[in-house]
Structure 1
Amino acid sequence: MNNETIPVITIDGPSGSGKGTIGRALARELGWHFLDSGALYRVLALAALRRGLALDDESALAELAARLDVRFPAEGDGVILDGEAVDREIRSEKAGDAASRVATLPAVRAALLERQRAFRTAPGLVADGRDMGSVVFPDAPLKIYLTASAEERARRRYQQLREKGIEADMAALVEEIAARDARDMNRPVAPLKPAEDAVIIDTSALDIDATLDQVRQLVAERLGRAG
């Protein structure tokens, strides 16, 4: 089986839309590999911050991206950078904001593009991100775009942080999410938007189970597989 024949399901959308939770759950149900592409950018941003690199130093960031030692263990939800679990650090607002900034740099995106495509291995891949369907896997047989209001996404993020014992300000989260949306949607390289053939699902009024049910139905219709 060559790379192009391996099925891919892409799940794109803004931060807090539920794409990571849905993507990982779907991958587990199908027995497929999972790619959290946003984590790659967050890991790169964290590595850059640790090394004291400027977030606008495109050449240095691209060089770092090309040799980044990052792994997604088959079991669990962990992300390993240089042999260290960095799940908590990369999910911070600081890392998220830095990731959004480095993701605007063409050389950085090019350096990570092939690495993302290398996750496409048998029996299949569920890829979660912002441009998985529009740029990275344009031939994917099923493309999904999850969205939700900025207020609802901020509420979800607030709850996640509080559950982890991290203090957060709801109003500040709404502002940060809205600003990130504007930056991601208006960036010149791979702006955040649904692929032309993506199925759009608004999760503002849906819980995880209801969203996953809709996704399972799409998988059965498009790929003839049950989640």
Structure 2
Amino acid sequence: MKKELQVAIDGPASAGKSTVAKKVASRFQYIYCDTGAMYRTVTLKAMQTNVALDDAAALATMLTDTTIEFKPGTPEQLVFLDGEEVTMAIRQPDVTNNVSTVAAQGTVREDLTNRQREIAAAGGIVMDGRDIGTSVLPDAEVKIFMIASVEERAQRRFKDNAQKGISTPIDVLRQEIETRDHKDSTRAISPLTQAADAVLLDTTSLSIDQVVDKISEIIEQKRREL
């Protein structure tokens, strides 16, 4: 019987992590955990309840009465905050531009990391984020660090936004991505960085299916080794 692995996919904003992770999970019939959506959901609730986004203590208190759930949906899984669907709400620009502040708070990272580890405990999981291989699942059997040029990522975000009815100029998106990269890579707690044993995968010139195929090959090789 093949071992069911923990697969950690990290990388900067709009590198294609979530899209690829969903497809890889489907191919291997693994669970997919969108950690970015979890941080976005916490950000949305803080904004809705007027909790300061940089108040670690207040955010911790808020989280004691916060439930985050994922449920199957078409074309993508649905996200629920305290029983209310927020799949689209957490993808709006106001949440996107504030999530790094919330994600930098130690209390938030500790709480969500514990939740993510519980989800991944049994294996057979694909989890994407910015510190999965270095912090959340340091013992994951497969670790991928996806990158792409800022220009390519801005184009991807622009196309994705257009499909969701969000209109943001490409120049603005480019600046937002560069700002997000800086915040994520320089934060004091669990900064965005490649794990020493992660496979670096530059997706700039690759299609989604090509990236999925490459990661799938790595998973299959690891399964054969174990």
What secondary structure is seen at the aligned counterpart in 2 of 1:87? coil
Give how far 1:123 is off. 5.3
Any stretches of 5+ residues in structure 2 without a counterpart? Answer: none
**Structure 2 residue aligned with 1:166:** 166
Q: Counterparts of 1:51 and 1:6 in 2: how far apart (Å)?
A: 40
Residues 1-227 of structure 1: pairs in structure 2 closer than 5 A: 7-75=5-73, 76-122=76-122, 124-224=124-224
Paired AA for residue 220 in structure 1:
E
CA distance in 2 between counterparts of 1:190 and 1:93 reads: 24
CA contact (8 A) 1:141 1:223 kept: no
**Residues 8-67 of structure 1: per-residue CA shift (max 9 Å, x gap):** 000011111111011111111111111111111000000000001111111011122233
Cα contact 1:23–1:128 (8 A) shared by 2: yes
My pick for the range that moved more, 114-123 or 15-24, is: 114-123
3-state SS of the aligned residue for 2:12? coil
**Shift in Å at residue 6 of structure 1?**
6.0
Q: Is the 8 A contact 1:79 1:87 kept in 2?
A: yes
Q: In the superposition, relative to structure 1, how do residues 65 and 224 fare at CA in structure 2: closer, same or farther (>3 Å)?
A: farther
Identity of aligned residues (%): 38
TM-superposed CA distance for 1:122, in Å, is 3.8
SS at match of 1:119: helix
Compared with structure 1, are the counterparts of its residues 205 and 164 closer, same or farther at alpha carbon in structure 2 (3 Å cutoff)?
same
Give how far 1:165 is off: 2.0
One-letter identity of the residue aligned with 2:99 = A
The normalised TM-score by structure 1 is 0.93
Q: Which amino acid aligns with 2:83?
A: G
Question: 1:74 Cα deviation (Å)?
Answer: 4.2
Structure 2: how far apart are the matches of 1:102 and 1:13?
18
Secondary structure class of the residue paired with 1:128: strand
Deviation at 1:121, TM superposition (A): 4.6
Q: How far apart are 1:132 and its partner, in Å?
A: 0.5
Q: Are the structure 2 counterparts of residues 219 and 6 from structure 1 closer, same or farther at C-alpha, using a change threshold of 3 Å?
A: closer
Partner of 2:120: helix, strand, or coil? coil
CA contact (8 A) 1:66 1:112 kept: no
In the TM superposition, structure 1's runs of 4+ consecutive aligned residues that sit over 6 Å from their partners are none
TM-score scaled by length of structure 2: 0.93
1:65 and 1:39 map into 2 onto residues whose CA distance is 15
Contact 1:13 1:146 (C-alpha < 8 Å) held by counterparts: yes
